[in-house]
Chain A
Amino acid sequence: MAEREQIRKTKPRKDAVVSDEAPAVSESGEKLKAELDDLLDEIDDVLETNAEDFVKSYIQKGGQ
């Protein structure tokens, strides 16, 4: 938290992010990628089979 706070105060610009903590980022990045791979495997299994029909038939009239 304190570390992030520091980043915010010294580098408020959007383009000045991420890169300096390279080792930590790549480590957690690996973990995130592995998690995402597992998630995508699961999604391939549960994804609605006929995407086109599914998307086209989703019509919701009369809402607020």
Chain B
Amino acid sequence: MAIPKIVGVETELGIMVRGTNEWNPVSASSLLINAYVGSDPGSLDERSTPVAWDFIDEMPGADARELSEPEFSMPPEIETHLVNAVLTNGARYYVDHAHPEVSTPECRDALSLVLYDRAAELIAEDSMEAARSVLPPEQEIILYKDNTDRKGNAYGTHENYLVDRSLPFGQIIAGCTIHFVSRQIFTGSGKVGSELPGVGLDNVPYQITQRAEHFEEEVGLETTLKRPIINTRDEPHADSARYRRLHVIVGDANMAQVATFLKVGTTSIVLSMLEDHAMDTSMALEDPVRALHHVSHDLSLAQPMKLAKGGSATALEIQWDLFRQATEWAGRHGLASVGEETGKLILERWEQLLTGLETDPSSVADQVDWIAKKRILDGFCDRHSCDWSDLRLRALDLQYHDLRQNKSLAARAGLEVLVDDADAALAKREPPPDTRAYFRGKCLQKFSESIVAANWDSIVFDVGDDPLRRVPMLEPTRGTMEHVGALIEESATVEELLDKLGA
């Protein structure tokens, strides 16, 4: 039976400093995050330094394929010396390589994820504001929620899904590759031009995704070069005998909440179908990497791709096939793994969106970023009689992703909203009630002075004279409000809490 599809998203943000030529992205990112943490009473709780991330369980070099011989491949390195904070909503906020990065807390379903993704945007907005008070008046830090500088440098929006360890990784590769290539028609954020060498505006004036062109392999461990469609990092941050964490690096960052919802929701269903042995993977593509680029470049959504078994199909046809399979799966197995109510909404919105893409893509301009953005660019071109080489179009393309409310074009594009901004504002500080993030967040709110460090699957407490005490949280579905809400509430001191937990 499919297990709960707990999900989180890590977003690396683009960063710029205005008003000076003397800046570097690492120190600007550090300044920004420190300014936010210093301005957030929740995450600080009268401490002089934020709670630090604990790296003891990080092993990004572990490979899900359990290769018998070493492959020539560079595992990502972890930088432990940079700013790395845990927030009271259970999220992680840190400097990754040369970008600020926010990881949402673990969420129980796709709708909860949309709420915490929106909260992350608000945290970024607050951070820019907090940085103003630290910077000289003529300077400003600006954040962009996008995935490329359009000059060949990409940065990630990584989805993470809890998957049953007993599901063979080969089946994940087979099922997810089909979905990841074809789902781009609604997950793409759009981009002017191409970043591939030798491909000009004549061939690709505008394309569906930001990320596709940065992928060169079908399967692999890399995340920074020779990126693979299926990333094999095997770092579950949970009981490794029971779980995997599928680390999906192939998606775009979305401004449209419906796109985020369906990106995560449909993928949660595909993984559940695989766990229930209810997915037909016969639509496998002959050349998935080529198909990934092909889908991104095909604005007509009508060009077929070759299938491995012979014949061909469009991305839209593949998505309809997956939707049909998902409906059958839901009828037989139920929607418990993806959340009953949320599951129904995923299927309903998936069908509506595919129908809209098929009949009139402009009818879903309020749900899909690449269409919303293209509508703005086309309108601007008409009004100012320009063509695709006009740099103002590239500026609009970037500014669509600007996270400052007063500059963001996405905020003006009439995108449909699925979560209330007032709820998202609360979610900046309050953890989701229904995953282990609740325990992490609530402990930080109440006992942060006694917490030395925290990470995804444990918290380290300092209770005075005793040695430090680590509380493991290897089960992502436990530590919820239902499990520990009363216990945390009733504990006046951290010693009491640890005694009650039996830790």
CA distance A39 to B412 in the complex (A): 7
Cβ–Cβ < 8 Å partners of B375 in chain A: 36
- The closest CB in chain A to the CB of B383 belongs to A40
User: Does B360 reach chain A (CB closer than 8 Å)?
Assistant: yes
Q: How many residues of B contact A (CB 8 A)?
A: 55
User: Which of chain B's residues 44-59 have a Cβ closer than 8 Å to chain A?
Assistant: none
User: Which of chain A's residues 31-64 have a Cβ closer than 8 Å to chain B?
Assistant: 32, 35-37, 39-40, 42-43, 46-48, 51-52, 54-55, 57-64
Partner of B16, one of A8, A15, A40, A57: A57
Contact size class for A?
Answer: 20 to 34
CA distance A54 to B392 in the complex (A): 9
* Residue contact B300 to A43, C-beta cutoff 8 Å: no
* Residue contact A54 to B98, C-beta cutoff 8 Å: no
Cβ–Cβ < 8 Å partners of B67 in chain A: none
- The closest CB in chain B to the CB of A32 belongs to B362
* Residue contact B412 to A43, C-beta cutoff 8 Å: yes
CB distance from B393 to the nearest CB of A (A): 9
**What is the number of contacts between chain A and chain B, taking CB atoms within 8 Å?**
121
Partner of B398, one of A17, A40, A52, A58: A58
Q: Is the interface of A mostly helix, strand, loop or mixed?
A: helix
Cβ–Cβ < 8 Å partners of B498 in chain A: none
CA distance A5 to B12 in the complex (A): 38
Contact digits for B10-25, partner A, Cβ 8 Å, 1 yes 0 no: 0010111000000001
CB distance from B72 to the nearest CB of A (A): 19
User: Does B475 reach chain A (CB closer than 8 Å)?
Assistant: no
CA distance A36 to B381 in the complex (A): 12
Contact digits for B316-327, partner A, Cβ 8 Å, 1 yes 0 no: 100000000000
What are the 6 closest A-B residue pairs judged by CB atoms, nearest first? A63-B155, A62-B98, A51-B395, A62-B97, A60-B149, A64-B156
Interface residues of chain A, those whose CB is within 8 Å of chain B, are 1, 4-5, 7-8, 12, 14-15, 17-18, 32, 35-37, 39-40, 42-43, 46-48, 51-52, 54-55, 57-64
